Structures are given as C-alpha cells and as structure tokens.
Amino acid sequence: MHKHDHIEKKHLRKDPLPKFTIGDTVDVLVKIVEGDKERIQTFNGTVIAMRGRGAGETFTVRRIVQDEGVERIFPLNSPKIAGLKVKRSGKVRRAKLTYLRKRTGKATRLVERMNTTPNTSG
Amino acid sequence: MGHFILGRKGRMIQVFNEAGQAVPVTIVEAGPCTVTQVKSAKGPDGYNAIQLALDPVKEKSISKPELGHFKKNGVAAHRVIREWRLEAEPSQKAGEVINCTVFKAGDLVDAIGWLKGRGTAGVMKRHGFGGRPASHGHMCHRRPGSIGMHSDPGRVFKGKKMAGHYGTTRQTTKNLEVVVVDEENNLLLVKGAIPGPTGGLVCVQTAKTGVKKVKKAQGLDLKKKNPQKASAAKGKK
C-alpha cells in the first residue's frame, strides 16, 4: 500500500457502485443540472473498458444511438454519477472490448455469462 | 502578511469539487515546521526573516555546527532548514510550530521545488526543441540546427538556447490554488503540478503576484463597470 493511499481513500465515492466488470450491460444514472433543477438521466450501454485505480478510476460505456456508436467515459468517483445498475453480464475474454467498435448490428451482441458464483455486492 | 511552510512532495491524485468537476491535485506533506530562528532588521542580522526547520532527526545525524545552531535557539535537531524573508518584523518566536492550517482552501500559493539533475543535456531535453526525424535519410537528429545569421551580425546572440547543464535548480510555480487542507494528516492538496521529484523538498508560500486571480477566486468583481456605459443603459430604460 502506498503511503498516500489513505489520503486518496477520502476522495473515493461514499456510496460504492455495485460490482460490475467489462462486458456488462449497465444503466448509468447521471445527474444533470438544467437551470436550477436537477434530474437523473440514464445512459444504457456496454462497459467496454475500465482504466486506472483509486480516485482517478474511469470506465467507458458504449451504446448505439440512431445507428451511431456513442461512447462515454465516466469517472467512477464522480459525484455526478448517482448510481449504476447491472442489467446483464457478457462473456468476454479481454479487458478492452475495442473490437466492438468495428461491429454493427447482431455482431455486437455478447454471450450472456450466467453467474456461477452469486454476485454478493448487488 | 503571507505564510510560508516547508513540506515534501507526494504524488498527484484527482479530487472532485462541488460542481462535480475533477481537479488534479498534488499532495504536499506540509510541516509541521519549527521556527528555529527569528531575524530582525533592528538586530545584528539587519533584515526581517524567519527560519523554519522540517524533519526532526537524531542529534548524531547532523553536523556539530548545525546542532549547535539548533541548541542555541533551544530547538530539537532537524534535517532541513530554510529561511523566509519578510518585509515586516516577524511575530513568531523560536520554538513555535507552524503547520498547514496557516493556509485555507481557496488560497493562492507559490510552490517552490528543486529539479532532478539531468547532467549535460541536449537542446531537445533542455529546451524542448523539436529535433528532426529519426529516419528517411536524415543525417541530423537531435541537434539544434542554425544558431544565428551570417557575417552580419557575425556572432551568436546572448541567451541563445543551447545544450548544457540541466536540472538541480530551484523552480517556482506561481498561483496554485489550495484545494484541501487536511489538518489531521498535515497535508495540503494543491491544484496542479509542483516542480521536483516525489519526496522532494517543497516550499509553499502565499502567492506574491496574481492578485487578480485571488480576487476572482474570492468572487470579487474584477472589472470596474464603465460609468459611461452604465449611464447609457439607464438612458435606454
């Protein structure tokens, strides 16, 4: 453990997101401020990459909007992320699913991974 | 009057502000520092300054003259001593402890660090010159290129950037914002990068310039409203 890890811990999110991994289809609940109102928008897609650790950890979610691929990189500890729901887990064999970028339609589907061990953290 | 503290540079991390924006910060283990000597313009020194010490050590770890200096002022032995000059007579006394709480979040500070030594370095490393391609028939790769004109002026201008010794110098980064003050762990989180290696000595002092930025940080109106424009706007109404 690095000397400054405990400092970084203070800046991690207080409400940990449920456990998710690469290949999962997730709903990311994003806080959006419009004028003085705040509402929550859902960004649904596949987690294709996770990067970094500690306070600077990010994950990339890819979805197709009107036949156009859209990717959003979310800082895991951002207070703008209100929550995350895992909808489906995909069976994948690599850490970065960049190959999905070249695929369209049915080819972008991932085989669902059935949980052999129960997902304890929700 | 400003404040001054010695510390050790830690690594950089990311924190989020109230608006949800990620802010890059450098961890500084700031103090606690002991005042080892107070110099006064009225005294034999002839100028105002306070001397701070960081990192308490065993008495055998420092030289006898240094130890004598600490003992004379009634302070425990420390590894690092730095002096900070002041315009006014310092209010501190020898033996007093200064910690990171002299700063508060939102303050602007100058951070002083000491660069790693690079030895004799070429112009690409030392001054960020572009160099030329490594291949495709290029016979010159990291050289500076032309260093001047012809027989007029017939000399190389002073200050021309060339290869030479690089590093081990003191460097200041001005007007960095203090983001978090952690009293419990004696830490300052300062926005942006600080010169020097991780674990290196850092001096943090109240920003000497950048008053505009301070005012902006405090939410003060920088631009005085043009009275003519203001009256014209009234006329329209």
The tens digit of pLDDT for each residue in B16-33 reads 888 888 899 999 998 788
User: Of the ranges A56-70, A94-108, B111-125, B159-173, which one carries the lowest mean pLDDT score?
Assistant: A94-108
For residues B230 and B158, membership in a common domain is answered with no
Strands A37-51 and A58-65, by their bridges, are antiparallel
For residues B133 and B65, membership in a common domain is answered with no
Which CATH number fits the domain that encloses residue B213? Answer: 2.40.30.10
Instruction: For residues A58 and B154, give the distance between their C-alpha atoms in angstroms, rounded to a whole number.
Output: 57
The answer to the question of residue A79 being in a domain is yes
Report chain A residues touching chain B, CB-CB < 8 A.
2-4, 6-8, 10-11, 31, 54-56, 75, 77-80
Which CATH number fits the domain that encloses residue A90? Answer: 2.30.30.790
Q: What is the mean pLDDT of residues A14-19?
A: 86
Which pLDDT band holds residue A96 (cuts at 50, 70, 90)?
A: very high
| Total domains present in chain A | 1
For residues B142 and B124, membership in a common domain is answered with yes
pLDDT reading at B237 higher than 60: no
pLDDT digits (tens, 9 = 90+) for B32-46: 889 988 888 888 888
pLDDT digits (tens, 9 = 90+) for B57-68: 888 888 889 888
Instruction: For residues B10 and A2, give the distance between their C-alpha atoms in angstroms, rounded to a whole number.
Output: 11
For residues B123 and B190, membership in a common domain is answered with no
Report CA-CA distances (Å) from A33 to A30, A96, B56.
Answer: 10, 31, 50
Q: Do B16 and A3 touch (CB under 8 A)?
A: no
Q: For A82, name the nearest residue in chain B, comparing CA atoms only.
A: B20
Task: Provide the token pair at B121.
Answer: 């370095």
The answer to the question of residue A107 being in a domain is no
The pLDDT value given to residue B212: 60
Average per-residue pLDDT for chain B = 85
The pLDDT value given to residue B70: 87
| Total domains present in chain B | 2
pLDDT reading at A121 higher than 60: no
State how far residue A80 is from chain B, nearest Cα, in angstroms: 6
Task: Give which of B11, B14, B190 to mutate to test A binding, by max A Cβ within 10 Å.
Answer: B14
> Domain range spanning residue B40?
4-117+170-236
The pLDDT value given to residue A122: 45
pLDDT digits (tens, 9 = 90+) for B125-157: 999 999 999 999 999 999 999 999 999 999 999
Q: Do B22 and A75 touch (CB under 8 A)?
A: yes
> Domain range spanning residue A77?
8-100
